């Protein structure tokens, strides 16, 4: 049921530039505008909170999205109670593989797929049934992640990690764990 081209679970984090791991993940000599491409070597997707991509903040994203990494899916968390159809912020994502995560369908967003909030930390594609699950973790403990992974719904198409224990560095280990579990 997974709508991903190769059928595998997409893995990523909330944002790709976080102060708590930015210096430890990216090589010190890597140009800042190459960070998203570097991130895409380990991750298949990224979730951007509304405050990261809406309004004035979106101008800082433009250099990253001029030539986005092929195969990287962006999940854009919609701001609460705000219509996005006329938003200039979305113009930045034209031609990018982006999905808007929202609480209610917005008919003005015809150019973007919308996934609806199912419950806290889960959004669903109403057409395919695919799900994005957001886990908040305190630390990257593979044993604890294994227990959570065994409980993932079959329809889970993407999983993003958030919280102090989330880093792009932990994604390859999580991918191996999920593959061993048959995901």
Q: Looking at the domain assignment, is residue 161 inside a domain?
A: yes
Q: Looking at the domain assignment, is residue 65 inside a domain?
A: yes
Q: What residues pair up with 156 in beta bridges, in sequence order?
A: 131
Q: Tokens in use for 93? A: 């994502």
26 contacts 175 by C-beta, under 8 angstroms:
no
In terms of residue numbers, what domain contains 124?
A: 10-180
Q: Looking at the domain assignment, is residue 5 inside a domain?
A: no
Q: Looking at the domain assignment, is residue 94 inside a domain?
A: yes
What is the per-residue pLDDT for 130?
96
Q: How far apart are CA 160 and CA 180, in angstroms?
A: 19
Domain count, the chain: 1
Q: 76 vs 24, 27, 54, 89, CA distance in Å?
A: 25, 26, 9, 11
Q: Give, as one character, the DSSP assignment of residue 168.
A: G
Consecutive 10-residue runs of the chain (183 residues): their mean pLDDT? Answer: 65 92 89 93 95 75 86 92 69 88 85 92 95 94 93 95 94 95 90
Assign residue 135 the CATH number of its domain. 3.20.20.410
What is the per-residue pLDDT for 2?
42
- Helix axes 171-180 and 142-150, enclosed angle (nearest 10): 50
39 contacts 159 by C-beta, under 8 angstroms:
no
Q: Tokens in use for 155? A: 């329809």
pTM here?
0.92
Q: Looking at the domain assignment, is residue 2 inside a domain?
A: no
User: How many CB atoms lie under 10 A from the CB of residue 167?
Assistant: 18
């Amino acid at each position: 049921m997974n709508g991903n081209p190769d059928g595998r679970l997409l893995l990523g984090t909330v944002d790709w530039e976080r102060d708590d791991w930015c210096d430890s993940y990216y090589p010190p000599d890597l140009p800042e505008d190459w960070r998203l491409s570097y991130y895409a070597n380990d991750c298949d997707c990224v979730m951007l909170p509304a405050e990261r991509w809406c309004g004035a903040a979106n101008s800082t994203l433009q250099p990253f999205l001029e030539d986005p990494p092929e195969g990287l899916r962006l999940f854009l968390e919609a701001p609460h109670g705000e219509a996005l159809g006329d938003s200039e912020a979305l113009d930045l994502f034209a031609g990018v593989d982006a999905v808007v995560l929202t609480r209610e369908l917005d008919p003005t967003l015809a150019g973007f797929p919308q996934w609806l909030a199912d419950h806290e930390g889960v959004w669903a594609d109403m057409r395919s049934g695919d799900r994005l699950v957001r886990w908040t973790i305190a630390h990257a403990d593979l044993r604890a992640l294994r227990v959570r992974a065994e409980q993932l719904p079959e329809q889970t198409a993407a999983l993003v990690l958030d919280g102090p224990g989330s880093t792009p560095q932990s994604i390859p280990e999580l991918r191996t764990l999920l593959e061993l579990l048959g995901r």
